[in-house]
Structure 1
């Protein structure tokens, strides 16, 4: 990943998502439409989000039925993210929605911390779980600095509060320009247990104090 001269070593994000469990299914659908991903780089967060493509009602009515189609685990909070290939061993923090409907970012000063949408799907549970991490801070590379090195077939794990460890297999990596971010494709609920790892990508825009794109890793429960 290119590092803009005299800017943060690797950028950061504040993503968000959809899905949820049981009574939270509708919330997940609503969240999907308000989150166009707001990642930030530089010293200050930037909240550039695309307008919602559909109404919350439309999203709710088109969400897949919550009938597990494959392997899944019961709901449990994630405790630690392990990605051996890129030497990630990081604790989780809960992320909530801001009043504007975006997911707040993990604390910008902590280079080894990932966040998850705590009101959405938990990793391993049926649906789409969202995990966000900074690619850098104002002073150093951060937890997802090397996320782009992952490849299809790579495995990462999430340790959970219930004592189980959920293993995920990478299906694909894609980079999306922020003004063309496919929120439904990334955040849409599923009838399988899936995860999205999200961080910043592209060039660093000094004026906007933001990166121009987002990197998304698509993965499923093994």
Structure 2
């Protein structure tokens, strides 16, 4: 099923998508719904974005994490941890609905991290995608409320069903407006084991919700 870009005006949903190489990847969904805000969730600073070479436009090249390790065979993710922001979350599978949109984690479980289960498993060669709520109606914080606090070099750990832990190192954080979401940059195929962590971010309006998305880029650097 070919995915499509859709924005629901009653929420801050996002469904950026791209057809890349041998398979189609879509991520997004209703990762937050019309929350009541006294404060914005933390947003990444410009210094955490990829640094383009002088005179070049800001586009991602190969992940800079070093050293990289050999990708693992496929195995489902069970648990996601981000020590720097005290995230310790069970992972739930996310699927496409009949319209081609990625279903979000349940709204009554803001503690869950979602994984696009028709895509790459975290730690395997390719680009694995995880997503989760930033917050929920009433202002309750979601699992990725503090995602914008991360910095380059922080780690993301994923426990897998094969009893291995894939450890990823953050290469960059970037924030994109929904109507300018760079699908190929975010979801592009890789021979390395890479991870994306995505939630809502940017400006906020009561009628349309969040105006953008925070994307964390990370590369597998250790296996335990």
The alignment status of 1:30 with 2:24, answered yes or no, reads yes
Distance in 1 of aligned mates of 2:27 and 2:123 = 23
Distance in 2 of aligned mates of 1:142 and 1:190 = 29
Measured after TM superposition, the shift of residue 127 of structure 1 is: 0.2
CA contact (8 A) 2:113 2:143 kept: yes
Measured after TM superposition, the shift of residue 37 of structure 1 is: 3.4
1:140-196: CA deviation from partner (whole Å, max 9, x where unpaired): 111100001111111110000110000000000000000000011101111110000
1:6-38: CA deviation from partner (whole Å, max 9, x where unpaired): xxxxx9877687799xxxx73xx323xxx3734
Distance in 1 of aligned mates of 2:28 and 2:82 = 23
The corresponding residue for 1:194 is 194
Report the RMSD for the aligned CA atoms in angstroms: 2.5
Which structure shows the bigger proportion of residues in strand conformation?
2
The corresponding residue for 2:117 is 118
The corresponding residue for 2:77 is 78
The corresponding residue for 1:220 is 219
Which structure shows the bigger proportion of residues in helix conformation?
1
* TM-score normalised over the length of structure 2: 0.72
Paired residues, number: 178
CA contact (8 A) 2:18 2:183 kept: no
Structure 2 gaps of 5+ residues are: 1-10, 36-67
- Residue aligned with 1:185, SS: helix
Distance in 1 of aligned mates of 2:162 and 2:12 = 29
The corresponding residue for 2:185 is 185
The corresponding residue for 2:57 is none
1:24-63: CA deviation from partner (whole Å, max 9, x where unpaired): x73xx323xxx3734443359xxxxxxxxxxxxxxxxxxx
Structure 1 gaps of 5+ residues are: 1-10, 45-68
Moved over 4 A (4+): 11-20
The corresponding residue for 1:158 is 158
Distance in 2 of aligned mates of 1:114 and 1:191 = 25
Tell me: CA distance 1:42–1:206, structure 2 relative to 1, closer, same or farther (3 Å): same
Tell me: CA distance 1:18–1:80, structure 2 relative to 1, closer, same or farther (3 Å): farther
